[in-house]
Amino acid sequence: MEQIKHTHVEVRGLKLHVAEIGTGPKVVLFLHGFPEIWYTWRLQMIAVADAGYRAIAIDFRGYGLSEQPSEPEKGSFLDLVEDIVALLDALGISKAFLVGKDFGAMPAYLVPVLHPERVNGVVTLGIPFIVPGPKAVLTDLMPEGFYISRWLVPGRAEADFGRLDVKTVIKNIYTLFSSSKVPVASPDQEIMDLVDSSTPLPPWFSEKDLQEYASLYEKSGFRFPLQVPYRCIKSEFETTDPKVTAPALLIVGEKDYFLKFPGMGDYIRSGQVKHFVPDLDITYLAEGGHFVHEQLPEQVNPLIISFLNKHSN
């Protein structure tokens, strides 16, 4: 871990926190999800650097050690896409592999849709190609207490989270997302009430890991993370007939609760996703959950490195 270097890079008027290890022209840019930050990729960064790649992980704007935008409530996925391209420009990188997890998968796919010349290939964990918009997540087919539906309501998550310290909020969300069940609260509950305080952390996630996550969210808060991805997920993303022509790999943990979102399992398993990403390979890990890269790095890292090696020029 101590070999990972940390800097801030000015990108579109904001200083983004950049973690980096490895050198050379073959670049892999890692894009985190929620409730994560750059640290979620620590095991993958070291592995791909040892395999000869330059590994870079960022905190998205409004997350962790990166600066906050002046108007967080106007944030969108397009901001993340433009930040990624501007970061590559600032670092003098013409093309990179993009690796995305959770909502980080969305800009990982949208960059090659809008800027195909900048991407060598895409790897995503758990989340397939999805365009933000009214049909991105079919909340109307889920119960009222579905966590995304709750977090879409301005002020509701803020009040729920505000009852607890940041470390407990992160622990609770991480615990919920580690389950194979979709988080759904009853009408008389909030999402934080779904977790018993005595529930232990998953075996692959240490107290030190939790503290790393919590310390960065204590700095950034939840204002931008609630906007992106949650409150902007249904905003129209202007693109017609989007296609990802770059090679892609989707790694799916079969116990990831996301597979239980309405229509999502069928979208992946039936091959419909390949309409948008024709050169897509899909690998299923039977015991994998939502945080499959932290849970099973000994399986995930070789899959990523094999993909990188196959598609490196």
Catalytic residue numbers read 102, 230, 290
Query: In sequence order, what are the residues at sequence separation of 6 or more whose Cβ sits closer than 8 angstroms to the Cβ of residue 255?
Result: 180, 287, 288, 289
- Look at the alpha carbons of 236, 130, 12, 212 in this order and tell me if their dihedral is positive or negative: positive
Of 120, 172, 158, the residue nearest 313 (C-alpha): 120
Contact 33, 293 (CB under 8 A): no
Tell me, rounded to whole angstroms, the distance of Cα 109 from its chain centroid: 12
Token reading at 126: 């758990």
Pairwise CA distance, residues 310 & 304, whole Å: 10
Which DSSP letter does residue 137 get? Answer: S
Continuous segment of H or E residues that includes residue 158: helix 156-162
**Residue 259: what are its φ and ψ, rounded to 5°?**
-65, -20
Continuous segment of H or E residues that includes residue 273: none
Helix 105-114 with 77-90: angle, nearest 10 deg: 70
Of 286, 311, 275, 269, the residue nearest 123 (C-alpha): 311
Contact 41, 125 (CB under 8 A): no
Of 260, 312, 294, 285, the residue nearest 137 (C-alpha): 260
Token reading at 178: 């580690």
Of 242, 89, 220, 204, the residue nearest 161 (C-alpha): 220
